[in-house]
Structure 1
C-alpha cells in the first residue's frame, strides 16, 4: 500500500477526551444494576435536570 506523504504530513486538531473518575464509574455500576423501570426513571430525571439547567442559562 502506498500512502501520499502530504496526507501523512497534514496537521490534525486533537480532541480532549474526558476521563471518567472513580465516582463516575461507581455511579454507572449502581445505575446499571437497577431494574429497567428504575433505569428509565433515572434517565427521565437526568433529562429533567438538563432541561432545568437549560432554562436557567436562558434567563
Structure 2
C-alpha cells in the first residue's frame, strides 16, 4: 500500500498530462465525439419540432 501512495506523488498535473503522443492523438477523438453528440442532439430537437408542426 505504501508503494502505491509513493507513486501517486509523481503524477503529472495540468498541461503536463497531455505531453505524450498517445494523449495528444486522443484530443481529436474527444473533440469529434463531442461534436457528433452535439449535432445528434440538435438533429433530434429539430426533428421533434418538425414532427410536431405537421
Q: Which has the higher contact order (CA 8 A, sep 6+)?
A: 1
For this structure pair, what is the TM-score category when the shorter chain's length is used for normalisation?
0.3 to 0.5
Q: TM-score with structure 1 length normalisation?
A: 0.42
More helix as a share of residues: 2
